[in-house]
Amino acid sequence: MNTVRVNLSSYELVWPATLFIGEGERIIDSRGVSWSDRASWLLTEALSGTTAVADFEDSARTKEAGAADPWASTLSGGSVVDRQREWFTELINRAGELRQASTPRPYWPQRRPQASTQIPNDPGDPRRDFARIIDEFTENGYLAEAFGKECVDEYSDLPDPSEVIGRRLHLSGLWPLTPTTWDQDTFYGLIEVFHDLVSRPRSRSFHPYGGCGWHYSEFHVVPARTLYRWKINELLRLAGIDYEIAAEGEDLGRLVAVTDDARSELIHQVLHTPTPDITHRVEHAIALFRSRSTSLESKRSAIVTLAGVLEERRQLIRDGIGKPDDGALFEIANRFALRHRRADQFGDYDPAFLDWIFWWYLATVELTNRLIVAREA
């Protein structure tokens, strides 16, 4: 059977995790053709949106896409049911890592309670370009899952888009979009909110009666968010704004300071090496370091977190580079006021020192990840 890796970053629980796990385990233990229907229904009930259901269905697809018998072996190994069961089992086993839908990660205005600045109103205003991008997403159905779609043939109690946005940003009157009224905090906050709201419809049908128009279905957030980040990050780059939307990590979907390609690749590598024992700690350290509200204290905390990971892997480092040299790695953290804050430590140093030590330690964590993978190969 193939090894399946479930990407949890796109899923949010609307149930208690323990209830979801309990019901999921009952389904895993069941047999029969209808078990996949029960799994789909649980995903529909317990997780926000339809992305998880779509991924569950996609997990069954193989090179023999037209296979009629779901129990038959396929070219990619195992049966359709085997692959779905493996995917579903991993999701249930890792359900403790899922976020609760009722508690989205803080948005830009909430992460830094400082006075915002007003953006000059000129023809090159990036706020106008952002509003045009949101109009395009709206016209293509990317907000139909979040806001609903009116139909002339049926009454629907649709959510108020202004309230949907307002609950997240704690601001009112933000829909329809009026870009010239936004200050910087509101603008950046909206960038992050719409990242969380967009989902791509993979199917549509045209309803001509009364000019109703297109109806959309089969929504999935991953392609929508990927496209959204690409468009918005290009807008920010052209506007000379030194932020981009994070594509991975604890701060996925949040604006972070732009780094060079090499450091971006380092973050990608360290987050995608299969070392689940430290993944959450490293994600948190990266989020602390590149957060909008980062400070000297949060940078120190990020470094201390990475130092703790390296301390646990000290023997691995000694085996890899030699015992006499491993002390240099920890001497910096111990001699400077980073971890213990003793009177004999150096505390008066340039803040740029923190940037240097963070990237050094992160690169060393990535090195130890690769050493672990090589040992297990």
Is the distance from CB of 264 to CB of 247 less than 8 angstroms?
no
DSSP 293: T
Residue spans per domain, the chain: 8-100, 108-245, 259-376
- The dihedral of CA 172, 177, 179, 181: what is its sign? negative
Residue-wise pLDDT tens digits, 271-330: 887 676 788 899 999 999 988 777 888 888 898 899 889 989 888 888 876 655 556 666
Note the pLDDT of residue 357: 87
Note the pLDDT of residue 251: 92
Which phi and psi (to 5°) does residue 2 adopt? -70, 150
Note the pLDDT of residue 114: 62
> In angstroms, what CA-CA distances link 203 with 127, 200, 217, 220?
30, 9, 5, 11
**Per-state percent for the chain, helix, strand, coil, to nearest 5:** 55, 10, 35
Closest of 104, 125, 100, 213 to residue 169, by C-alpha: 104
Three-state DSSP at 256 gives: strand
- The dihedral of CA 120, 121, 122, 125: what is its sign? positive
Positions in the chain whose pLDDT score sits under 50: 1-2, 63-77, 340, 342-346
